[in-house]
Amino acid sequence: MKNIIAASTSTVHGSGPLGYILDELSSFYKDTEEILFIPYARPGGITHDAYTSAVQKAFTNIGKTLRGIHEFENPVEAITKAKGIFTGGGNTFLLVSQLYKQEVMQPLREAIFDGTPYLGTSAGSNICGLTMQTTNDMPIIYPPSFKTLGVIPFNINPHYLDPIEGSTHMGETRETRIKEFHKFNTLPVVGIREGSWVRVKGDKVTLEGTHSARIFEQGNTPYELETGSEIIFS
């Protein structure tokens, strides 16, 4: 039975890394003391070791140990043996490229369907969708495919931002970008704001956290989904 938390971000304003969700994670990872961390997204280009060390500080607060997948000789075996997995944020293009390069995209998908608790933040949430095409990131590297884990039946846009009234910014809004996506793609998109997450237990998908989400469906007017609601598409 799938057991997933796909969060918009690792850090919200006024909180330390994962501080806003640590109580939830303590229960989420209750059956394991060691969590396999996938640092491939490398925010800001930091090393895998530096990223793992930084995230470990947050998990120390709930008595959990993190071990980076890059520390294993066989990353596929690391996935199959893991009792809990966390994929951090950063650049989604880089993350997806590395998942394919290390040949762990399919093993990771299988582990999630087998019930291994999976946490993703930002880029790590992006890859839960059917494709990575609703990422906010720059294409700094070319992945072999935009196809991702497909463990949820829609795409995610993390860090979703609403248009700011009176702003003089002339660039496209997130809503505009997602509407562009829907000119060529039929997949629904869930825009998750900072401090909220998608929770998956088996086939049930709900929105949790402090904010509503913005829902986009091809050919329909975007609408708000309140936190606590089940996410269902016809």
pLDDT tens-place string over residues 179-205? 999 999 999 999 999 999 999 999 999
Question: Residue range 46-70: average pLDDT?
Answer: 95
Mean model confidence pLDDT for the chain: 94
DSSP 3-state assignment of 224?
Answer: strand
Residue 47, domain member (yes or no): yes
Lowest mean pLDDT among 22-26, 45-49, 155-159: 22-26
Per-residue pLDDT of 214-225, as tens digits, reads 999 999 999 999
Residue 232, domain member (yes or no): no
Distance CA 123, CA 158 (A): 8
Q: How confident is the model at residue 17 (pLDDT cuts 50, 70, 90)?
A: confident
Predicted confidence (pLDDT) at residue 28 exceeds the cutoff of 90? yes
pLDDT at 170: 60
* Number of domains observed in the structure of the chain: 1
Lowest mean pLDDT among 6-15, 36-45, 199-208, 223-232: 6-15
Q: Where are the beta strands (DSSP E) in 83-222?
A: 85-87, 118-121, 155-157, 189-191, 196-201, 204-209, 213-216
Beta strand 85-87 with 34-38 is parallel
The active-site residue out of 8, 70, 125, 137 is 137
Task: For residue 193, give the CATH number of its domain.
Answer: 3.40.50.880
The active-site residue out of 15, 48, 53, 159 is 159
Residue 233, domain member (yes or no): no
Determine contact, residues 108/99, Cβ cutoff 8 Å. Answer: yes
Residue 217, domain member (yes or no): yes
The active-site residue out of 10, 122, 196, 212 is 122
CB-neighbour burial class of residue 80 (10 A; exposed 0-12, middle 13-18, buried 19+): middle
pLDDT at 12: 62
Distance CA 127, CA 183 (A): 21
Handedness of CA 202, 187, 136, 48 (dihedral sign): positive
Give the domain range for residue 49.
3-225
User: Would residue 13 show up in a list of annotated catalytic residues for this protein?
Assistant: no
Residue 230, domain member (yes or no): no
User: Would residue 203 show up in a list of annotated catalytic residues for this protein?
Assistant: no
Question: Residue range 33-55: average pLDDT?
Answer: 96
Predicted confidence (pLDDT) at residue 14 exceeds the cutoff of 70? no
Per-residue pLDDT of 106-122, as tens digits, reads 999 999 999 999 999 99
User: Would residue 182 show up in a list of annotated catalytic residues for this protein?
Assistant: no
Residue 63, domain member (yes or no): yes
Residue 7, domain member (yes or no): yes
Q: How confident is the model at residue 162 (pLDDT cuts 50, 70, 90)?
A: confident
End-to-end alpha carbon distance in the chain: 22
Lowest mean pLDDT among 2-16, 53-67, 206-220: 2-16
User: Which residues, listed in sequence order, are joined to residue 204 by a DSSP beta bridge?
Assistant: 201
Q: How confident is the model at residue 163 (pLDDT cuts 50, 70, 90)?
A: confident
Residue 103, domain member (yes or no): yes
